[in-house]
Amino acid sequence: MSVTLGSLPVMESQTSLRRVIGRRVLLLFVLGDILGAGIYALAGKVAGQVGGALWVPFLVAFVLAALTATAYAELVGKYPQAAGAALYANKAFGIPFVTFIVAFAVMMSGITSASAAARAFGGQYLAEFVSLPTLAGALIFLGLVTLVNFVGISESIKVNVVLTLIEAFGLLVIIAIGVYALVVGDGNPGRALEFHPFNGAFLGVLGGTALAFYALLGFEDSVNLAEEAKDPQRDFPRALFGGLAAAALIYLAVAFTATMLVDTETLRTSSGPLLEVVKVAGLTFPPKLFALIALLAVGNTALINMLMASRLVYGMGREKIVPAVFAAVHPSRHTPWVSILFTVGIAVVLVGTGEVGGLADTTVLLLLCVFALVNVSVLVLRREPVEHWHYQAPTWAPAIGAVVCLVLALPVTGRDGSVYLRAAVLIAIGVLLWFVNRLFVGRVTDLDPAKISP
């Protein structure tokens, strides 16, 4: 995300952002948005779904995500504005309530993602430095995130690039370990071809794919850079597909290495699955240093998501879409303290009542519904051509993408009922805020997603 989050500029006076981001930096942003907590925290959970061939769900997830990526590539080129899915839903359907629910679902997915990352932060990676119960570590971490959020933080391209390189370095360490193991004959490569899922191969892969989606959902955030890209019509599709392809190669190599060197049961039960790989590797790498890299990757995911969520709620309050109290700004720090407390309060409840897999699955469920709507929106908006050139997805891609997203959102994937209940409660909070606000402010007849977007 390339936004200034430490201050809250008056957006009414801002007509557009400076177009300063070139193709290479945009590619790094896309890659950085994808890399992060997912692979560091959930590799073991995905392995537990398929019973061995960890790389298969990641491969299937990337293929299916590419379908939705074609819809985003077309819509970004058509409407190069920093508002994302809510903008596309608003243009396609023009129903304020639908636009609000899409924005609220994206916001809640940020909180559930941060909560999953917080649980991962409090696990075995942190245990390399200090022994704490997972819940205690997660809550302390959320407290630190809240403090940074309250004080204010200005993000820059340089910071994002550095974090991307550090996160990628940790994964490249795992790949190097895998290459070394193959050369010297360590590990069990045959395990990467084994399937021992509890519900059979098909449902196992389906369930694993649904969970693996968490590791690559970040590409949706890169849409917010469209308004700052030098040539979004040409550069964004190349950066998006290039970033997905690069992340796919990295994740597949990491997944193969993890399966080859560590037995499935150990991966499944570990809250730091990649740390298990480092500890058994023939190629020596300091476990504490790797744990630090993992904590940085996981922590960065949580911080960015909580910053995004609090600013979205602030934007909604400022535009009087939810109660105006959420637009309150601290007099000295100039940060949206009410929105920060609201979002961290939800995160605390989620961290206290869920575990990494369930919270990640809730994130996936919310965004799969958003992705399905984006895929439908791109087809609906074909009726409104624009004058400038832009990438156009083959019609079959978003059509299949919409169906795939809906299928992956169904209970057939083996998703626990508590995930659906959690997602329903989170969306119900938004519905309640919408109607409470309507009682006091009145009917919302027009909603500009750009004014609520961080």
pLDDT the model gives residue 209: 85
Of the two residues 350 and 149, the one the predictor is more confident about is 350
Report the alpha-carbon angle 258-261-264, nearest 5.
65
How many residues in the chain? 454
pLDDT the model gives residue 9: 42
pLDDT, tens only, 192-224:
787 777 666 677 788 888 888 887 777 776 676
How does DSSP assign 236-264, residue by residue? HHHHHHHHHHHHHHHHHHHHHHHHHHS-H
227 DSSP assignment = G
pLDDT, tens only, 101-146:
998 999 899 899 889 988 988 888 888 888 888 888 889 888 888 8
**Burial, 186: exposed, middle or buried (Cβ in 10 Å; 0-12, 13-18, 19+)?**
middle
Looking at domain 23-451, which of 3.40.50.720, 1.20.1740.10, 3.40.1190.20, 1.10.240.10 is its CATH number? 1.20.1740.10
Angstrom distance (rounded) from CA 365 to CA 422: 10
- Torsion (CA) 225, 145, 360, 424 in degrees, nearest 10: -90
The three-state DSSP-derived secondary structure of 4-21 is ECCCCCCHHHCCCCCCCE
pLDDT, tens only, 152-195:
555 444 555 677 778 888 999 999 999 998 888 887 888 878 77
3: pLDDT strictly greater than 60: no
Percent of the chain with pLDDT over 70: 87
Which residues, including other chains, have CB under 8 Å from residue 364's CB and lie 6 or more apart?
Answer: 210, 211, 213, 214, 217, 408
62: pLDDT strictly greater than 60: yes
pLDDT, tens only, 271-316:
888 889 998 887 788 889 999 988 888 877 787 788 888 888 888 8
pLDDT the model gives residue 239: 85
> pTM of the full predicted structure?
0.86
Angstrom distance (rounded) from CA 47 to CA 147: 35
pLDDT the model gives residue 225: 63
Over residues 89-104, mean pLDDT: 89
